[in-house]
Every structure is written in C-alpha cells, then in structure tokens.
C-alpha cells in the first residue's frame, strides 16, 4: 500500500510566528509515520512552508513577475529556510528508525506559468523501491516563464499521488478537516464528505499564505480524487485512520 501524505505547514510550524516550529506535532507525526512504516506501508511525505516558507517568499514577492537580483537572493533565502524545516522533520523520523530521505524539490521540479511543468517522478519511485521514505516540500522553483515561482506542496502531493498510483492521498491540516464555516466559530461543523459539485466552505485564513490556502488545496484534492485516488483531509490525530480508510472525524474528498 502506498500513501502520499501532505503535511501542512500549519501542523509543523506556528503559522503566525515566523520561523517557529511546532515540535510537539513534528514528534507526533514522526511517531505515527514510524508505525505506518513498520506495518510495511510505503509512505511519501510532502510538507508545506508554514511560517518558514511563506513569509520569506512574500518578503521578496517571489510569486510576481520580473526577475531581479534581489529576487535571486530571496529565492536562495526561501530555499535555505525550506531546507532547514525539512531537516528538522527528517531528524525526528531518522531518530525513530524511519529511513527518511530529503528530496530537494527545486532540483527535480520546474513550473511554466506557475503550473507544474517538469517533475522527475522516477527518482522518487527509485527511493521507494529501496524502502526509503522520500520527504519533499513546497519550494521556490525555476519557472520557465517568470524566472522563479513558488510551487505548493499541495500540487506536488496531488501530482505524485496520481503519477505513483497511490492508494491514498492524505492532507494533514491544522484545523483537523474541512468545516462548513471558519473552524474557530462555535457553530462550525466538520464536513465528513466534500465533493466538487458542492458549495465551497467559507474560510477565514488570516495567516500569510502565498499559495492559496484551503481553496487551492481543495482543487488539488479534487483532481486527485477524480483520477481514482482515495483522498482524505484531516488532523494528525487521525492520520492512521485516514491512511487505512477507517471511520473517524475527518473529511473524505469525493470525485463528484
């Protein structure tokens, strides 16, 4: 069984406090991944930028057109912070005996018009064949139209799930699933199912997000679901249940 897990930036970092890790969640994620790995479930991890990637990319307007010397520096700084965050996650997995291997996204992916254009899936597959756990991330990448762009981990996870014919794609998010209204509100209700033809939930994303937040995540999730991958969106607590398709409080993404 193959699971592609997108580990949301808001799960592993404090989204409102720049460059701050959520170490408790990183540890819990590593514990749960060890359990899956020990049950011979193949895992590919893709993490988001959280308060490491997004503020840096925004500071240098990496998503806008016109490349410049200052953007070159911003590209390098964004890459630095993403590598830093990636290594923190890898460290915890390795210390639990999980053979996690960092895959530098910008070395194997490019965009055109800010859409995924080239991606070396073979290298990810070759790592899987050798019982490794590849850990990729949303990243600053070469864009053949605009010079550079930000490629979201949400796109990478959906793309890989389809290309590798994963059994399941899980989006782990800080709020624990998709709600009918902003999750902080007392009357907010977890949606147990969501489909593209239904109304999109209202969100109140205040933290800086250069890649489009929940709306973008849902469009990636729907495209994977339409291609036949089972897709779930939920919190870290129920990672195992989502991977195995068991009943628990999370959101199932239906193809139509």
Annotated binding site for substrate: 49-50, 54, 153
- Which of 139, 232, 235, 253 forms a contact with ligand IP8 (CB under 6 A)? 139
Considering beta carbons, is residue 185 or 215 the nearer one to ligand IP8? Answer: 215
Q: Is 82 among the residues that bind ligand IP8 (CB under 6 A)?
A: yes
Alpha carbon distance 32, 233 (integer Å): 16
- Closest to 64 measured CA to CA, from 143, 137, 118, 138: 143
Residue range at the interface with ligand IP8 (CB under 6 A); choices 45-53, 122-130, 174-182, 186-194: 45-53
In this structure, what DSSP letter does residue 246 have?
-
Cβ atoms within 10 A of the Cβ of 185, count? 12
Compute the distance between CA of residue 1 and CA of residue 37 in angstroms, rounded to an integer: 11
Binding mask 4-43 for ligand IP8 (x = CB under 6 A): -----x----------------------------------
- Under the binding rule (CB under 6 A), the answer on residue 211 touching ligand IP8 is yes
Pick out the residues of the known binding site.
Answer: 6-10, 49-50, 54, 153, 213, 217
Question: In degrees rounded to 5, what are phi and psi of residue 42?
Answer: -75, 135
Contact 239, 250 (CB under 8 A): no
SS3 at position 114? coil
CB of 16 to ligand IP8, least distance (A): 15
Candidates 22-30, 115-123, 135-143, 178-186 — which segment interacts with ligand IP8 by CB under 6 A?
A: 135-143
Q: How far apart are the first and last CA of the chain?
A: 24
Q: How far is the CB of 58 from ligand IP8 (least distance, A)?
A: 8
CA distances from 182 to 1, 37, 153 (A): 34, 34, 23
Q: Which helix (H) or strand (E) holds 76?
A: helix 69-95
What value, to the nearest 5°, has the Cα angle with vertex 229 and ends 5 and 47? 20
Name the residue number minimizing CB distance to ligand IP8. 138
> Closest separation between CB of residue 187 and ligand IP8, Å?
28
Q: Smallest distance, Å, CB 175 to ligand IP8?
A: 15
CB of 114 to ligand IP8, least distance (A): 12
Note the residue count of the chain.
256
Q: How many residues belong to the site for ligand IP8 (CB under 6 A)?
A: 17
Residues that bind ligand IP8 (CB under 6 A): 9, 48-49, 53-54, 57, 78, 82, 138-140, 150, 152-154, 210-211
């Amino acid at each position: 069984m193959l699971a592609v897990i997108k580990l949301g930036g808001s799960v592993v970092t404090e989204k409102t406090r720049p460059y701050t890790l959520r170490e408790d969640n990183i540890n819990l994620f590593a514990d749960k991944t060890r359990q899956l790995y020990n049950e011979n479930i193949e895992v590919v991890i893709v993490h988001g930028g959280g308060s490491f990637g997004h503020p840096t990319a925004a500071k240098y307007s990496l998503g806008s057109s016109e490349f410049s010397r200052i953007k070159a520096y911003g590209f390098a700084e964004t890459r630095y912070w993403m590598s830093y965050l990636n290594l923190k996650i890898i460290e915890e997995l390795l210390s639990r005996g999980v053979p996690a291997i960092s895959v530098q996204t910008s070395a194997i992916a490019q965009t055109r018009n800010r859409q995924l254009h080239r991606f070396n899936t073979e290298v990810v597959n070759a790592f899987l064949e050798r019982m490794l756990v590849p850990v990729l991330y949303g990243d600053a990448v070469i864009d053949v139209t605009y010079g550079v762009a930000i490629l979201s981990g949400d796109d990478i996870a959906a793309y890989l799930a389809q290309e590798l014919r994963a059994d399941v794609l899980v989006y782990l998010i800080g709020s624990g699933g998709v709600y009918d209204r902003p999750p902080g509100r007392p009357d907010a209700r977890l949606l147990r199912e969501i489909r593209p033809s239904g109304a999109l939930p209202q969100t109140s994303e205040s933290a800086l997000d250069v890649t489009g937040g929940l709306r973008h995540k849902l469009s990636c999730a729907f495209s994977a679901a339409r291609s036949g991958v089972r897709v779930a969106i939920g919190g870290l607590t129920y990672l195992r249940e989502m991977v195995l398709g068991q009943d628990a409080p999370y959101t199932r993404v239906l193809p139509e």
